[in-house]
Chain A
Amino acid sequence: MTSDPTMSITGARQRQERFTVLQKWVSRALAGNLSCLIVPGPEVALSHGLDVTAAGMRITATPRDASVLLIIGELSEKMNEAVAVLYAQMPRPRAIVNLGGQTPSTLPDADFSAGVSQAGLIDAVDWLKRALAKGAFSDSPEDFDAPVLHARIEYVCPMHPEVVQNEPGSCPKCGMDLVAREAGEPAPEHDHGHDHREHRHHEHEHQHHEHEHQHHDHAQQHEHHEHEHDHGHCHDHHDSHEHDHEQHEGHQHSHENHHDHGHKHQHDESDGDAEEKNSGHDHSEHGHDSHEHGGHDHVGHGHSGHDHGGHDHGASGFMSMIEVTKDLPRSADGLAMDWMEVPFGPVFPGLPGGLKLTLTLDGDGVTEGQATSLVGMINESEEGKEIDAETFIERLASAMPLASVSYRLLACLAIERAAGLENDSATDQARAVALECERIASHLGWLAQTGRQLGFAWLTDRAATLQLEIRRASGKRLVELTPALQALAARLGRTPLLKSRLKGIGVLPSGTAGLSGPVARAADDAGDAWARLWQRLDEIITSLDYIKATGEPGLPVLRNIGRGSGTGEATVETPRGEAQLSLILEHGQVKSYRLDTACSHHIGLVAKLVEGRELGDALVAVGSLDLSPWEVIS
């Protein structure tokens, strides 16, 4: 693979003959400016000990700014779809690098694959540099297409909403040209539909553009369909969908439109019922009818932007704000506004990768929200399906990239107990030290993540550096790092604005049940994000003291269990709280198991924490829980 670096055809950009010399220079510049979007997220890269910046790539916050999609580890089915959407949003030239996993089926083949290691990452960067310098521009780039980007287009009469058909044409009742819309959109409202109509006309007339185009999508939010434009008149998905199908000759009015539509955000959901979901959602027309769709399904923003900008309603008379907003739900401040349901994640700079937060926004206040994990483990205790004990341990550990040592330990303990092994104090001690090491590393990872969320670059860099060092450090070296960690804590105590940013945010109501870990321990204090920060900083120091007093860490390795049988149960205090595993062992094989984790409970707190908060505060509150979506068991 390394011998002849060539960009994949979905990644390269169309070559323009006129600019050959310029393109050569630009290619070199591109090769020197690698920026990557990490999937699932930078925190996973760190927990694998990968230093992306040191390898020569800038970490970006959005797919728009990224030239490399860096995928780390295996992704879940749901994540695969989200990743396709992210890839579609990246501007060309773009590349996919896959470390330690299969390339998601929704994506083209990875440009470069390697194992999860810093060496693999450095090879990847080296390969990318050569490939970009050579092949950033191609004579025959291809469009990226994936089922997840598709939505159905139907045609409707602007005056007669009951006239809907799959083909373009004119209305049998009034003879007007039918207007394209995504299946499930409500009918255009008369007064304001005018604007839409015009646009569609327009597009029908301009169906052949030769320039590049592609369907882009937006996993994180309002997924638009975009395309490279050189002409001024391609602005709509209908138009661009013509482009998308240039390869399919004669397929001009295909009803499958690849698009990714902002106010639809169902595309990063995997259940494939996109069309149905659309139906709850008022498209555009300034909020009319939104109340009919059950509250706040109204994401009018998507098209209303268009409509407003189109300044077309002027002709149809004065638009009264009171009229327009009279039926909208009222927010806490009594103002009626468009409510938008905006997804944050599953790959979002302010949240851990794999966590998807869906917030209903009223301006930038959150009226309600909920969090789901797209990567969570499933409690599968299928009858008759036995897993080898060693394999089980590996599988559990790799399913929890943010706390693999803890879960390795948990699995070892449960299996050993099931096999009836006695505790061995020396092993226990070394394991306990390993667990404390991971706790420090995990809390530092959380600090780096918090830094990303708060735009606190120094904290992100510092915590990430320390986390990487701790991963590599022996017990002795760890003790040497104590002053650096204490200095970090002291520095945070002195940082202006930090306290005002966290104090009083994400307060858990007293007596909230089901808490564990730092979240529970901080609940006794003030129970807010500030208390949780200090709880974690204190735990870092406490863990260091323990390591200092105890000795070297030893990675949990399963002791010889022979072909033992029995039931075993173990509990480990992971960095995020208590995890409990009970399993049935038969002849050295794990027959069934049951896992319970802190994050499975904590994720349920999100709805309460975000409700009624300002967007920034809501995200801080969610972040302060240190949710690991991997540890959310469904």
Chain B
Amino acid sequence: MNFVIVLLALLGSVWLLAVVEGWTTTGRLRPAAPLLSGLAHLGRESIVPRTPDRVFFETAPVLLLIVAVLGAAVLPLAPTLVIADLATGALFINAALAYVLVALIMAGWGPNGAYAMIGGWRFLGQLIAYAMLIVMPITAVAMRAESLVTTVIVGSQDGLWNIVYQPLGFVLFFIAAMALAFRAPFDLPTAPGELGGGVDAEYTGVRLGVLRLARLTLVITLASATTVFYLGGWHGPLLPPWAWSLIKTLAVAVSMLLAGRYLPRIREADLMRWCWTLGIPLALLNIIVVGLLVLVVP
């Protein structure tokens, strides 16, 4: 039952996000647009490039979608509304998201095209840059909760959300999440102006539809993770817990979306340098500060 509800919530959020995305790009609010565009993807020819690596080419979009859903499976919408309340939930989400990289490399390698391949390898190049900034802030979150269980993590923020308790961790996690979701301004693997679509470049029709759905789902999953780890999850007055979770998740997702609109794409070298030389030390500092707080504050 939880599975169905969470899945529906995920789909609903994706739909809302797509409506907002359409709104920001075209200026018109068209609730049916995402459905129509999905249907249009069905109608378009789904071309297979010449001499593809067929397995990689076919698997990548589906894998990306599965990864996003798997990640969402451990994120609670309400105290009991979670697909799998794993004892290692916070670790599991890391493990699931690691496959985003795999999916992108497959999408880059599969179609046998230069633009796509460069896009895939670019993402691999960024691995440590963003992955450390996902893992290390989560470490600090788990330290405060003294647990890896996601519901316990939300519980630990009762009264004081982590965004206040460890703002540095929030900022780092938020940026890293955008990089992991390869949304603008971190859209280096797709980069229309540089790679003509990159890893997306060779997908058409149904496959492109799946890929786009997967990308939006990934944004929602990461926004939901941000909510759970930093924004107090379901905590909030008046409204029922699940509503708070959804509102916060959508707010985070939309802000990720909007940020890209007003910023130019980051230089690859800058992303690496800033993440390595600034991000990782800051993440360590965050862990130390949180550690001290946990020890000192009763």
5 contacts between A and B (CB under 8 A): A13-B43, A224-B50, A306-B112, A455-B265, A617-B267
In the assembly, what is the distance between CA of A453 and CA of B184, in Å? 12
CB distance from B207 to the nearest CB of A (A): 10
Bits for A598-622, please: 1 = Cβ < 8 Å to B, else 0.
Answer: 0000000000000000111101000
In the assembly, what is the distance between CA of A23 and CA of B45, in Å? 13
CB distance from B43 to the nearest CB of A (A): 4
Knowing A220-B115, A222-B115, A262-B112, the reply to whether A455 touches B46 (Cβ < 8 A) is no
Whether B262 lies near A342 (C-beta < 8 A) is no
Whether A65 lies near B197 (C-beta < 8 A) is yes
In the assembly, what is the distance between CA of A278 and CA of B25, in Å? 42
Give residues 32-75 of A contacting B (CB, 8 Å).
32-33, 53, 58, 61-62, 64-65, 67
Indicate whether A376 reaches chain B with its CB closer than 8 angstroms: no
Knowing A364-B121, A453-B193, the reply to whether A614 touches B268 (Cβ < 8 A) is yes
Indicate whether B9 reaches chain A with its CB closer than 8 angstroms: no
**Quick one: which of A27, A67, A305, A349 contacts B196, CB cutoff 8 A?**
A349
Whether B264 lies near A501 (C-beta < 8 A) is yes
In the assembly, what is the distance between CA of A350 and CA of B43, in Å? 28
* Size range of the chain A interface in the assembly: 35 or more
Residues of B within 8 A of A501 (CB): 264-267, 270
From A120-128, A235-243, A431-439, A474-482, the one touching the partner chain is A235-243
Give residues 456-481 of A contacting B (CB, 8 Å).
456-459
Indicate whether B62 reaches chain A with its CB closer than 8 angstroms: no
Number of A-B residue pairs having CB atoms within 8 Å of each other in the complex: 227
Q: Which residue of B lies closest to A342 (CB)?
A: B114
Whether A457 lies near B51 (C-beta < 8 A) is no
Residues of A within 8 A of B208 (CB): 64-65
- List 4 tightest A-B contacts by C-beta distance, closest first: A309-B53, A26-B43, A350-B193, A29-B39
Whether A456 lies near B264 (C-beta < 8 A) is yes
Give residues 200-236 of B contacting A (CB, 8 Å).
201-205, 208
In the assembly, what is the distance between CA of A457 and CA of B265, in Å? 10
Whether A29 lies near B51 (C-beta < 8 A) is no
Residues of B within 8 A of A234 (CB): 48
Residues of B within 8 A of A495 (CB): 262-264
Q: Which residue of A lies closest to B43 (CB)?
A: A26
Residues of A within 8 A of B109 (CB): 305, 308-309
Indicate whether A336 reaches chain B with its CB closer than 8 angstroms: no
Indicate whether B42 reaches chain A with its CB closer than 8 angstroms: yes
Give residues 256-295 of B contacting A (CB, 8 Å).
260-270
Residues of B within 8 A of A259 (CB): 50
Residues of A within 8 A of B55 (CB): 309
Whether A457 lies near B260 (C-beta < 8 A) is yes
In the assembly, what is the distance between CA of A229 and CA of B39, in Å? 19
CB distance from A56 to the nearest CB of B (A): 9
In the assembly, what is the distance between CA of A263 and CA of B113, in Å? 8
Knowing A62-B196, A62-B201, the reply to whether A93 touches B43 (Cβ < 8 A) is yes
